[in-house]
Chains A and B, each alone.
Chain A
């Protein structure tokens, strides 16, 4: 029977199976979200059709998806890496802002530097901005003083204020008095764009980071130690693995990767520092990493999927007059479904 062969193929292909599962979840979530939109007196079918025609149906829309996917890949890895040690980094949003901020500082401090020096400098500073911002909760957690979940959440509210302070104050572009933003960065600091679209070098950086994440965790002895901490921190400690140091390092690397996402946004998309850099990329990255269970291919697939979903937020805003934030309901519904259908035991034991 053809069904049984299909079933056998499915059983044997975990990748295919999980993709089907994700798709089933997404479809259910879309149906629930459609019901909510209907209740609010909106036309969900039109919203979905519009979203499709703005994104997948033409080359420009598709390129914009990849632009949106770039920070999502990075913020997802920023969550996934610490999660392998059992750490919950919900501070991707703040770390992204701090990466953008410190990268901007680099570009503004050395406007005359040559490209071969400025570009790496800006990238390193972007990484450092996020890394230092995440190292703080890391240290607090390692010293068993403050839980990293609540600390990273709180820091999300501080980072955008630092950015606002800078662009309303010392870095304000005198040329654009109406709109608070930094001056345009020197050409040498900007990431190369490709194919006449807004796709920038950050996309390839993000893919490289995703690959490096997999290699680090699965193929090195550092990865063995990190996974041991995530699997059983008490045992890891007793076996002489430097747990406290790894906690700080892993959160810092994660934060640094989120910082790279911020660097990519200012250096690849905006060309200057401004408010509202991220419509919640850090939080969306958390969802992606969590839903993908930290698996690299899962992150790739989910980042693409979530790029489409968050595009729906824009569509709602443009065509239905709804706030972008409404798309959060769709994200929440997806999470609800996944959370509710997880096997009751086993996963946590």
Chain B
């Protein structure tokens, strides 16, 4: 391995999606036996660049060089033939197929008649060599996220990839799983593999990267060699000097809530599940007025199910649900909403808005019969009420005629929030409310939840982002396998311990 010449080099890659330039004349080089971090906030163009390298997306212009020779990568098939492999952000595994089948699908030298035994042997070989042990016959849908990631890496190794691209591999991992991943990086590096590691988390970059390239708004804005980088320089570069520190330091709350009434209470609540959903088991949970209750957990631990249970979309099999002191166990979602429950979802376009309908019509959805007038809708009363809500939230009042689907994610989220906050909710259920938002929009959503708390609402914040939970929560619960396995008061939690509880790697410990 020649340390001077890069294994992979991209030059002046440009990729546009309509009016948006996702990659603008991007250059990058990757050497053998190194971990190269590609750093940038959401929407900086990191994923686009990696998809271009892997042939998943075609660039508008630019070139790719492998070991100094120019190559064309029109589809992933060519990329794999060249020894380039990629682990996608949301993984590219097929849940219904077994580990073995998922890996076999990926092999370039798979014979026409598949011999499971041969492949199994190779899986075990590589697994032991790099610490990637998984059961080859298990269906992927039964694996934990950490194990799924191992399968993704195994796929690439068995297919003889030498360049591994990992798009935000730590996003869904608990802290100790992240350290395990970095150990795998080390052993891969030792055997000469090159790793392009895409992330927006600064600490991880500092922990594992040999070299760092920073992207902002589709452009490369700087790079650091081994040992050159420091946190402040990275922050400045990544955010261009604006609203940088906010993300790192959790805001402290002066007065913890005391003597407040309970808004919502679950008593021994259990709820059955269908298909790939998670069964909820014996949940005890209280949300008081004026507090934010955070729920941590790795994906698939029952977060969505918990939210749905509280919203009234699911019915209890055992236990009870109390809302402001009244037994609400059998209330429908319409009744819960009428009584003051609001819902701020992850993806408003998916869960809280109808893209094909106008903004005006979207504002009346979910208000029950509040604005009905005869067989029609009292549009002027609605507009007045919603106008006040936008005003109170200091949001600009949007145009009401265009379809909701034409709005950007942040604008749509504001409309959904204005609608949900218009009738002074007693309880706000926020399900991954900042996922996929840019830093500025995410900050404003967090501010809003805090303000709702000051206004006396109880807030349930479900998130996979531990830093967000640590910053926002007055109390934090850990959800694992559909049960609450830990409860912490502000200031009492240690993220390492929360991480272990989240992954079930340590027994339940009520603080």
A and B touch in the complex (CB under 8 A): yes
Complex contact B366–A240 (CB within 8 A): yes
Q: B350 contacts the other chain (Cβ, under 8 Å)?
A: yes
Question: In whole angstroms, how far apart are the Cα atoms of A234 and B333 in the complex?
Answer: 13
1/0 contact trace for B333-375 toward A, CB 8 Å? 1101110000101000111111111000100111011001001
Interface size for B (C-beta < 8 A) is 29
Interface residues of A in 112-162 (CB under 8 A from B): none
A239–B376 contact, CB under 8 A?
A: no
A242/B334 contact (C-beta < 8 A), A220-B375, A224-B364, A224-B365 known: yes
Docked Cα-Cα span, A182 to B389, in Å, equals 65
User: Which residues on A sit within 8 Å (CB–CB) of B260?
Assistant: none
Binds B, one of A169-177, A225-233, A275-283: A225-233
CB proximity of B189 to chain A, nearest CB, Å: 41
Q: What string of 1s and 0s marks CB contacts (under 8 Å) between B217-257 and chain A? A: 00000000000000000000000000000000000000000
Q: Is A219 an interface residue (CB 8 A)?
A: yes
Are the C-beta atoms of B333 and A221 separated by less than 8 Å? no
**The residue from A219, A222, A241, A242 contacting B365, defined by CB atoms under 8 A apart:** A241
Cβ-defined partner of A240 (8 Å) among B332, B349, B351, B364: B332
Q: A220-B376, A240-B333, A240-B334 are in contact. Are A227 and B351 (CB under 8 A)?
A: no
Query: Judging by beta carbons under 8 Å apart, are A240 and B368 in contact?
Result: yes
Q: Is the CB of A235 within 8 A of B361?
A: no
Query: Nearest residue in B to A224 (C-beta to C-beta)?
Result: B361
Q: A238 with B333: in contact, given A224-B377, A228-B357 (CB under 8 Å)? A: yes
Known A238-B345, A239-B366, A240-B334: A221·B372 in contact at CB below 8 Å: yes
What separation, in Å, do the CA atoms of A219 and B469 have in the docked complex? 44
Interface string of B268-292 (1 = CB under 8 A from A): 0000000000000000000000000
Smallest CB–CB gap between A171 and chain B, Å? 40
Question: Is A236 an interface residue when CB atoms closer than 8 A count as contact?
Answer: yes
Question: Does B313 have its Cβ within 8 Å of any Cβ on chain A?
Answer: yes
**Which residues, 292 to 346 on B, are CB-close (under 8 Å) to A?**
311, 313, 332-334, 336-338, 343, 345
Residue in chain B with minimal CB distance to A216 = B375
Q: A77–B410 Cα gap in the complex (Å)?
A: 38
Taken together as a complex, chains A and B put the C-alpha atoms of A236 and B333 apart, in Å, by 11
* Alpha-carbon gap, A246 to B86, bound state (A): 45
- In the complex, the chain A residue whose C-beta lies closest to that of B354 is A231
Given A224-B364, A227-B357, A241-B365, does the pair A235, B377 have CB atoms closer than 8 Å?
A: no
Interface residues of A in 209-224 (CB under 8 A from B): 219-222, 224
Asked if residues A239 and B357 are in contact (CB atoms below 8 Å), the reply is no
Question: Within the complex, which residue of A220, A222, A236, A240 is in contact with B354, where a contact is CB–CB below 8 Å?
Answer: A236
B residues neighboring A (CB under 8 Å): 311, 313, 332-334, 336-338, 343, 345, 349-357, 361, 364-366, 368-369, 372, 375-377
Supply 18 further A-B pairs (C-beta < 8 A) apart from A221-B372, A228-B357, A228-B361: A219-B376, A220-B376, A221-B369, A221-B377, A224-B357, A227-B354, A227-B361, A231-B355, A231-B357, A232-B350, A235-B350, A235-B351, A236-B354, A238-B333, A239-B337, A239-B365, A239-B366, A240-B336
